[in-house]
Amino acid sequence: MGAILRTAYYLGVDAVAISKRTSAPLSPVALKAAAGAAEAVRLFSVDSPSAFVHNSKQYGWKVWAAIAPVSSLRRSEPRTSSRQVTNISTSSLKRRQSPLVHHPCLLMLGGEGAGLIGPLQKAADNNVYIEPRKSGPDVGVDSLNVSVAAGLLCDTFLRKPRNEDLVGNKTYDQNDD
């Protein structure tokens, strides 16, 4: 938890909501890992993550669920919802405008191993995943540590175009003729 808070603060995240029941506590070890960020970033302690997500959506927030890479998802788990949820990779998301340009966003991260619980994942407007770039033999590594994933995802969401003018849906570099 401390590493996530430190990364969130460093990258400019506005606030972090932490489930009271299913998240690691802010222990002295976590606070030390946060290196002061726990005192600098706005923290919300959430009794019911499902209610928090529901209320956020009612106020216009878009909800993104961090999921395992699509290639490692079990295809035998069909979605029970009739609405369509898009799976978007971070590399695909980097080629678009940040979702934050259009709506405030809530990025949900689950626990290592199990990920997000079903009701939270089903509440998402979109799923986002970090595609692996590994090569070589399969040694069983199919996901990232949650704090590393949090850093990569926050960087993707908070990335601002550099030396670019956004025109429509296409990005033009100022140096292009």
pLDDT digits (tens, 9 = 90+) for 11-31: 999 999 999 888 877 888 998
User: pLDDT band at residue 175, thresholds of 50, 70 and 90?
Assistant: very low
- Predicted local confidence at residue 84, as pLDDT: 65
Return the structure tokens found at 73.
């998802």
* Residue 127: half-sphere exposure toward Cβ, Cα within 13 Å: 21
DSSP state of 154: H
pLDDT in tens, 103-122: 899 999 988 777 888 889 99
Q: Which residue has the tokens 């570099």?
A: 173
Closest to 2 measured CA to CA, from 30, 41, 42, 36: 30
For 64-89, the three-class secondary structure string (H helix, E strand, C coil) is EEECCCHHHCCCCCCCCCCCCCEEEE
Q: What is the mean pLDDT of the chain?
A: 80
Residue 148 exposed, middle or buried by CB count within 10 Å (0-12, 13-18, 19+) = middle
